[in-house]
Amino acid sequence: MTAENTDHQWIADRRNSDSLKWTQAQKADIVPMWIADMDFQCAEPILQALHERIDHGVFGYTATPDTTVQAVCDWHKTQHNWQIAPEWIVWTPGLVTALNVICRAFAAPDDQVLTFTPIYPPFMSAPKLSDRKLLRCPLKNDGGRYTIDFDALTSVLTERVRILLLCSPHNPVGRVWNKDELLQLAQLCLERNILLCSDEIHCDLVLDQGTPHIPTATLSGDIAAQTITLMSPAKTFNIPGLNCGFAIISNEKLRQQYKDTADGIVPWINTMGYTACQAAFTKGQPWRMEILAYLRENHRILHESINAIDGLSMGRVEATFLAWIDTRELNLPDPETFFKDAGVGMIGGAVFGEPGFVRLNFACSREHLLLAIERIQKAVNSL
């Protein structure tokens, strides 16, 4: 692969850096567009804060800094008009961990956990790993734009459904759920006493400026009391390797139940995670705006190019840096391997519960994006 384009100083060469995304790819000249992190160096203030922490030179057990808690509260107030009380925050080193804790805490072994497919795979593995039953409700695909099929939902719901795992915005279909959709969903959860777990890790990566993210728990007091929100600076600020996320739980009883289940099993947050989280939420905004502009242009180019290739299509990505590409017209037995052999590393739709699709991560340099598009086009032309 050729050298990086360095128009933007935050575009990083990640080869030989033990990156999970790049390690496998660089051996075979693959443009890696699979695991969901960015090929961008994080914001300068985050780097500075981490350097200062390292210079102190002590890495003992860490208390949760009040300043980090305040940073989380301030961020939600300014970005989402959501006033969070400090005691609602329960820290977790990962949101996948939290999904698993929630399945164990709020459903009994034979209870069902509902989710909408296609979906980020841990939403389907968490119930199974916790010995709970997974119930899938497929989203409706209207020409590449996915919606919640409320008729299908009411027909699959049973008395045993205890938890809904909602991804908002949605990975992989890129939807920002609107107020009507969220209200309808939350109402159903209230009527049937289903805990609503709203994973909002992608909420600060909205590309479509006409579709603002609405935190589920802000819809009403009753809904907040039945909702656990999962959040983290990891995706937005490209710090997922620092393992710092949190659940926001306003209902004290639910919060205690969550904590009791996690206690002794889930590790504490590390010093570097808290440090990066605080710097991200207090000083990361200029970087985020720059990255969003770059991602919007990557998305524009990708959307136009993919839809111009016969046999491929993709819908608009309202949020996230992940494209969901429909390859079904090509009738490929294994789309992931087909494109990997052509030098583009994407994740096949089967693991998300919808074969025939691939997920492409476009949080990369423009140069790599164009190279990937060229390879995809060439591979399709060769059929």
Ligand X SMILES: Cc1ncc(COP(=O)(O)O)c(C=O)c1O
Binding site for ligand X (CB under 6 A): 36, 94-96, 120, 167, 171, 199, 201, 232, 234, 240, 245
Give every CB contact of residue 245 below 8 A, 6+ residues apart in sequence.
91, 92, 93, 94, 95, 98, 201, 230, 231, 232, 234
Minimal distance, residue 352 CB to ligand X, in Å = 11
User: Measured from the CB atom, is 134 or 380 closer to ligand X?
Assistant: 134
The one-letter amino acid code at 113 reads V
User: Measured from the CB atom, is 223 or 230 closer to ligand X?
Assistant: 230
Minimal distance, residue 204 CB to ligand X, in Å = 13
User: Measured from the CB atom, is 94 or 127 closer to ligand X?
Assistant: 94
Q: What's the rounded Cα separation, in Å, for the pair 169 and 173?
A: 9
In three-state secondary structure terms, 304 is: helix
User: Measured from the CB atom, is 45 or 245 closer to ligand X?
Assistant: 245
Minimal distance, residue 120 CB to ligand X, in Å = 4
What's the count of helices (H) and strands (E) in the chain, helices before strands? 13, 15
In the chain, alpha helices (H): 20-27, 44-56, 66-80, 95-106, 122-129, 150-156, 179-192, 221-225, 252-262, 271-283, 285-307, 335-341, 366-381
Q: Is the peptide bond before 169 cis (omega within 30 degrees of 0)?
A: yes
The C-alpha angle 94, 349, 374, rounded to 5 degrees, equals 105
Minimal distance, residue 167 CB to ligand X, in Å = 5
User: Measured from the CB atom, is 343 or 345 closer to ligand X?
Assistant: 345
Q: Which residue is nearest to ligand X (CB)?
A: 94
Minimal distance, residue 170 CB to ligand X, in Å = 8
Minimal distance, residue 60 CB to ligand X, in Å = 24
User: Measured from the CB atom, is 167 or 195 closer to ligand X?
Assistant: 167
In 85-149, alpha helices (H): 95-106, 122-129
User: Measured from the CB atom, is 36 or 219 closer to ligand X?
Assistant: 36
Query: What Rg value do the Cα atoms of the chain yield, rounded?
Result: 21
Minimal distance, residue 17 CB to ligand X, in Å = 18
Give every CB contact of residue 2 below 8 A, 6+ residues apart in sequence.
367, 371
